[in-house]
């Protein structure tokens, strides 16, 4: 009897739900053509914003808060900066508007919320989370999403809030190139962007969130991968992913879910799973970009196949890092 009790007790300890020894936070500020436009001044400002986002998110985790709160806090900082293609710094559509998309997912419960095509929501990540927590739905779009925002007290702003000279100039360049048949209306965007965060909290729970302004010069209400659960954003008990890049290809490959499926079902390390999708599956179709991916043990990876990807993390030792190019 005694040995049997010991065996049962030991099994209970081993089978105890995964509890992270230390929390981890990983963020990105978009992948794409970075090197040519990265002046020393811009690099400094970007690094300051990335560090501020990491500090905001990690402070939640360090104090025992949830991974959902951590990714939300981190995304808010990036949405409020004009230097990223999300929130304040969103790119312009062909018609000169800013249309914003966002998604968030709780890996512990598989709850998710997403919004797309909103033009007045200051922080789309807050609206995505409200969809998850305060509605029976997962995905709301356009005017309907903004009508819901009013009912739950999400801050709305005049569209002029999102206008920046840099993004407006990028649209003008894209329109000129299109007029010269260098790019079609559905062609490749000159600049990519998106912001995202994945986190593991002290309870061992994962979460992911992504926010974007989409593609410069996009038309017809185009929606990319960022707000689509499983494509640009996904989290479960094993894995959390936020993607950035040419969204059409992340949608076609269901990239974020594919990475997590390789971790869960094929038992592949997170780094291998993400690399296979980002460096093999997507490029074979003609797409590019990158992801941040984190597993339940706190292992993470940040693969990308573009010129660069703004990315940062606070690891299990609590050390903060920010990287931009291939360093």
Catalytic residues: 194
- 195 has which bridge partners? 211
Question: What is the rounded end-to-end Cα distance, in angstroms, of the chain?
Answer: 58
Closest by CA to 300, choosing from 240, 220, 256, is 240
SS3 per residue for the chain: CHHHHHHHHHHHHHCCCCCCCCCEEEEEEEEECCHHHCCHHHHHHHHHHHHHHHHHHHHHHHCCCCHHHHHHHHHHHHHCCCCCCCHHHCCCCCCCCCCEEEEEEECCCCEEEEEEEECCECCHHHHHHHHHHHCCCCEEEHHHHHHHHHHCCCCECCHHHHCCHHHHHHHHHHHHHHHCCCCCCCCCCCCCCCEEEEEECCCCCEEEEEEECCCCCCCCCCCCCCCCECCCEEECCCEEEEEEECHHHHHHCCHHHHHHHHHHCCCCCHHHHHHHHHHHHHHHHCCCEEEEEEECCCCEECCECCCEEEEEEECCCCCEEEECCCC
The CA-based angle 228-233-237, given to 5 degrees, is 125
Instruction: Tell me how far apart the alpha carbons of residues 146 and 171 are, in angstroms, rounded to a whole number.
Output: 25
């Amino acid at each position: 009897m005694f040995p049997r009790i010991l065996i049962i007790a030991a099994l209970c300890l081993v089978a105890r739900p995964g509890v992270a020894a230390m929390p981890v936070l990983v963020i990105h500020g978009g992948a794409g053509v970075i090197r040519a436009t990265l002046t020393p001044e811009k690099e400094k400002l970007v690094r300051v914003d990335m560090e501020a986002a990491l500090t905001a998110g990690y402070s939640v985790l360090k104090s025992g808060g949830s991974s959902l709160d951590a990714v939300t806090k981190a995304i808010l900082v990036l949405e409020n900066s004009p230097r990223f293609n999300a929130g304040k710094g969103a790119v312009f559509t062909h018609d000169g508007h800013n249309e914003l998309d966002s998604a968030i997912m709780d890996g512990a419960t598989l709850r998710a919320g997403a919004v797309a095509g909103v033009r007045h929501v200051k922080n789309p990540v807050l609206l995505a989370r409200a969809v998850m927590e305060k509605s029976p739905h997962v995905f709301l779009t356009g005017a309907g999403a903004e009508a819901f925002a009013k009912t739950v007290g999400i801050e709305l702003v005049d569209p002029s809030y999102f206008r920046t000279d840099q993004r407006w100039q990028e649209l003008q360049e894209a329109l000129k190139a299109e007029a010269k048949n260098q790019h079609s209306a559905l062609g490749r965007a000159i600049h990519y962007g998106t912001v995202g965060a994945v986190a593991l909290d002290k309870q061992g729970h994962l979460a992911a969130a992504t926010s974007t302004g989409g593609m410069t010069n996009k038309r017809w209400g185009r929606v990319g991968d960022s707000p689509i659960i499983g494509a640009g954003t996904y989290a479960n008990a094993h894995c959390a992913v936020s993607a950035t890049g040419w969204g059409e290809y992340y949608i076609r490959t269901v990239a974020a879910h594919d990475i997590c499926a390789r971790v869960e079902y094929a038992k592949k390390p997170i780094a291998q799973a993400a690399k296979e999708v980002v460096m093999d599956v997507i490029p074979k179709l003609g797409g590019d970009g990158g992801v941040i991916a984190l597993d339940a043990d706190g292992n993470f990876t940040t693969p990308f196949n573009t010129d660069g990807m703004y990315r940062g993390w606070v690891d299990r030792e609590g050390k903060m890092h920010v990287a931009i190019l291939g360093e």
